[in-house]
Every structure is written in C-alpha cells, then in structure tokens.
Chain A
Amino acid sequence: MSKQKKIAGGLFIGLTAFSAVLIIAVIVILLVVIIIGGKGTFSWEFLTSFPEDGMMKGGIFPAIYGTALLVLIMSVAAVPFGTITAIYLTEYAHEKSILAQTIRFAVRTLATVPSIIFGLFGLGFFIKFVGGGMDDAFLGGHLKWGQPNILWASLTMSLLTLPVVIVSVEEAIRTVPRELREASLALGATKWETIKRIVIPGSRSGIMTGTILAVSRGAGEVAPILFTGAAYYLATLPTSLSDQFMNLGYHIYIMATQSANVDQTLPIQFATTMVLLLLTFTLNLAAVIIRSRLRRKAK
C-alpha cells in the first residue's frame, strides 16, 4: 500500500471516530450542563409544590400533574385506536389492497408532519369545529368546549403519537407465530376469537412498548398543545376535561421566553428540564427493554 493511501485510510477512520465521539460528547455535555444548573433547585419540595412569586420560586407540581394527565388521556385515546388499526392492517386487510396501502401511507405521512401543524389542526378541528359545534348545539352558544382545554390538547397529542402505537403493535402482532393461530382455528375458533384470545394477548408487550413510546413522545412535545390547552400559570389543578392545564415542556418554554426575569428563573428552568429528561429517558429505556425482550422471543 502506498503511503498516500495509508494516510487517506487513516484520515477516514479518524473522521468516522470523530463523528461518533461528537454525538456522545453532545449528550454528555447536555446532561452535565443540565445537572449542574438544576441540581441546586431539584428537590422533593420542588417536585411537589406550586410555583410562587410569579414563578420565580417554588415548584413545578402543577406542570408534572398536567403532563401526567395529558399523556394519560392521550393514551386512552391513542392506544385502543392504534391497536385496532394495527389489527386491521395485519389481520384483515390484504397486504396489497388499496385501502391498506392508503392507511399505511397515511400513517407514514402522519409520522412526518411537523408537530406545530398538529397544534394548528387541533385548534381548527377540535376547538373551533367540534368544541364550538358542541357549544352551539347543547349550550346555546355559551362558551365552554370551544376553547383550549386538556381534552382537546390530549386528543391533538394522540394524533401525533398514533403512528408510534400502530407501528409497535403491528410489529408485535407479526411475532405471534402462525402455528398458534392455526391451532386456535383448528379448534373451531373464528378469526375474531383467535385475535381476541391468542393474537392480542400475544402482542401485549408490543402494545405496552407502543404505549410507553407514545407517552414518552407526548410528554416531550410542546407544539401540539400550544394552542389547544396548555396554560401559562394556573393556581389550581385541572379537575374537569374542559379545564386548561400546565405542562413541563411548555413551562420551560414560557420561563425561558416570557418570564419577567429570565436569569432569575434559570435554576428552575434547568431543574424542570432535568425532570422532563429523566421522565422521557426512563420511559424510553423501559420501551427499549420490553422491545428487546419481544424481539428475543420472536427468534
């Protein structure tokens, strides 16, 4: 090998190693900066109390509570709907039928739509059209549902996370062996009985993974709830579906951009970011573990 070629090869190895290390470095720096900035503020007190003094002090409990409630309602909507869609695609639709291909195309497209578009769609569809329509029809135009609230925010978020659920559940359904379906059918079970008693129980871990990934995504997104239900500050926790709510991601955003004294809220921003990261990391880790178990089982 000529000396020139050796140098070129060495350079290339160096370049690839550098890019790989760079990625790790970004994560490490991110975590270090956030932990250093937030650790002074992070405490049990911080997690469990309300903001005080125009959010300069105090905790973030309402934001944690609001985020939890958001992802809960979102899951209740997205998981059954996504699971049913996945079942249709894997069990009933012909792989090459126009309907199945259209659904798959829609799911893929949905997954690439920028999240702010979901926010605008939620505002136009859920709040103005559905909510406004409900107010006109049942409350004589009295404004109740035609404004941002946790229900519309959750449903908007569920549209965003639907593809995640569908893809995970589909993958899980495909790992249920054909032999088990055949065994069930040969015992005189109908297709639906086989799906209900064999396929869905066999896909439980996939449904679980999909749910966790959706929750983790939903917990981190801000754009879809910007116009549909997230509130700047609330003195009380939401108690009804028509209430607005506080949210971790949104909380970080407003403290960084809207607060009277951004520098003073910096420790709170860091600590809030820490909580949000911790939450999404833990959820993602759980999903990875369940998914790898599922894949091992499939082999």
Chain B
Amino acid sequence: MKEAKIKTRDLSLFYGAKMALNSITMDIPEKEVTAFIGPSGCGKSTFLRTLNRMNDLIPGVRITGEVLVDSLNIYDKQIDVVNLRKKVGMVFQKSNPFAKSIFENVAYGPRINGINNKTKLEEIVESSLKKAFIWEEVKDRLQDSAMGLSGGQQQRMCIARTLAVEPEIILMDEPASALDPISTAKIEELIFELKKNYTIVIVTHNMQQAARVSDLTAFFYLGELIEFGKTKKIFTTPDKKHTEEYITGRFG
C-alpha cells in the first residue's frame, strides 16, 4: 500500500446530540482511488465532507478526533480552511455549475487565487478541460453559459473547475448518481485517468462502480467503519458478514 495521504484518528461527528460518525480511524493512500460504500444514512457522505471541512457550514455540528492531511491536523486552529479546500477539492452529487460561461466557471478558482492574466487563465482553463476530457466538446463555445451543457458535460466541467485549483486530493460525492450510463462511463474513465496524479476518494451507491473504479473500498454502516481493504478482497472475500450481506444485496 502506498503512503497515506489522509489519516483519520478516532473521528466522531455529532449533529447536536446525535452521533453520526463513531470513532473512525483509517488511512487513505496517495494516488489511489478509495471508495466509500454503504446504505443511505450510513455516514459515508458525512465522513467525506469532514475531509475538507464542508461540515463546518452546517450549524450544530461537533467533531472530535483528528483528520490528518499530509500529517497536519486540518481541525487545528492554525489551519486556514481556505487553503485546505484548495488542496482538497470536491465534486458534488448534483452538478452545480455557476450561472456563468464555461470559461468563467473553470476560471473561478484561479481568479479567486488572484490570477487575472488573460493568457494564464486561458492556459489553465484549456488544460483543466482537457484533463476532464471535455475540451473537445466545449472548445468552440467557452463563452456560452454552462447551464446549456448536458448533465454529464456539466459534471465533467465541474471536475475541470475543481482541477483548475490544482488540488492534490479530490473528494467525489456520488458524482455519477444523476447521470445516464454513457456519461457515467465517461466519468469512471476520467477517474481512472486522474488517479495517476491525484488522490481520489469517492462515495458511491453503485456497487459495480466501486468495484470498477476503486483500489480500496471502505464499507460504512450506521456511522461506523465496518471494513476497509483492497477492493478486490472486499468484493470477493470480505472478513465481515455484514459487508458480504451488503455487497451481495441482501440488505441496503
């Protein structure tokens, strides 16, 4: 196993008094794809969102334990959450393009970071769209509104937008759940390509998808990490009975 990029130590999360994550400890390796699976409400998305502190936005959330990214505790008071989110990008379940042109969507992050040079921005936009396999489809209409793209194209553009910030880790929250099979296949192909350069963590409801794209799989149930290991092993010879039952479709 490659070196751990993200480590969590006894990470628990509470919504008010209700415990949503119970003492999760895991090591997510660098430049591999790690999939989180489990039934709805098992905490996998909540856990994903602790990794770039998106849960900070929800009132009443309390966290104990540690999340270490490159050995730094991201919940430390000295951590700048803005810098953290540049390093740990996120792709959401529902594609969420801004009501701006395709170009401005992708240039959003770089502009925030103070890049205003037109040539430089054009370079970043082009290379990001290329990395997200959507350049050929949109290169002639960069100034058109992103709202005019199909759902699958919007999602790949959102991935390009995330890549434009040059993150090291990309969190994906069910990125293909709202897409048709062809668009899903494109996203999966893209994930496969991206893992050469990025550490990817993906939450998915789709068992086949987890089996196809991931190197490691973590199974969550009722806020606990039940089992975590090589995808091949989890899907063929899981250690826990619960995992096996879920994977074979006996519940969930």
A residues sitting closer than 8 Å to B (CB atoms) are 94, 177, 179-190, 193, 197-198, 201-202
Contacts and interface: CB of A to CB of B under 8 A. Distances in A.
Interface in B126-162: 158, 161-162
Contacts of B83: 188
Q: Which among A186, A190, A201 has the greatest number of chain B C-beta atoms within 10 A?
A: A186
Contact of A188 (B54, B59, B82): B82
B98 interface: yes
A177 B92 CA distance: 13
Interface band, chain B: 20 to 34
B96 A188 contact: no
A186 B57 contact: no
27 contacts: A94-B59, A179-B94, A180-B96, A181-B57, A182-B96, A183-B98, A183-B158, A184-B98, A184-B108, A185-B54, A186-B52, A186-B85, A186-B90, A186-B92, A186-B162, A187-B85, A187-B86, A187-B108, A187-B112, A187-B161, A188-B113, A188-B165, A189-B82, A189-B108, A190-B82, A193-B112, A197-B112
Contacts of A94: 59
Given A185-B54, A187-B86, A189-B82, 13 more contacts: A179-B92, A182-B92, A183-B92, A183-B96, A186-B90, A187-B89, A187-B162, A188-B82, A188-B83, A188-B85, A189-B108, A189-B109, A202-B99
Interface of B: 52, 54, 57, 59, 82-83, 85-86, 89-90, 92, 94, 96, 98-99, 108-109, 112-113, 158, 161-162, 165
Contacts of B165: 187-188
Nearest to B112: A189
Contacts of A184: 98, 108
A201 B85 contact: no
A198 B113 contact: no
A201 B96 CA distance: 16
A185 B58 CA distance: 13
Contacts of A179: 92, 94, 96
Given A182-B54, A183-B98, A183-B158, A188 B92 contact: no
A13 to B, nearest CB: 47
Nearest to A178: B57
B112 A182 contact: no
Contacts of A198: 98
Contacts of B57: 181-182, 185
A227 B94 CA distance: 56
Contacts of A177: 96
Given A179-B92, A197-B108, A186 B54 contact: yes
Contacts of B82: 188-190
Contacts of B99: 201-202
B85 A185 contact: yes
Contacts of A180: 96, 98
A182 B59 CA distance: 14
Contacts of B98: 180, 183-184, 198
Nearest to B52: A186
A182 B108 CA distance: 13
A101 to B, nearest CB: 16
A180 B94 CA distance: 10
Contacts of A182: 54, 57, 90, 92, 96
A57 to B, nearest CB: 53
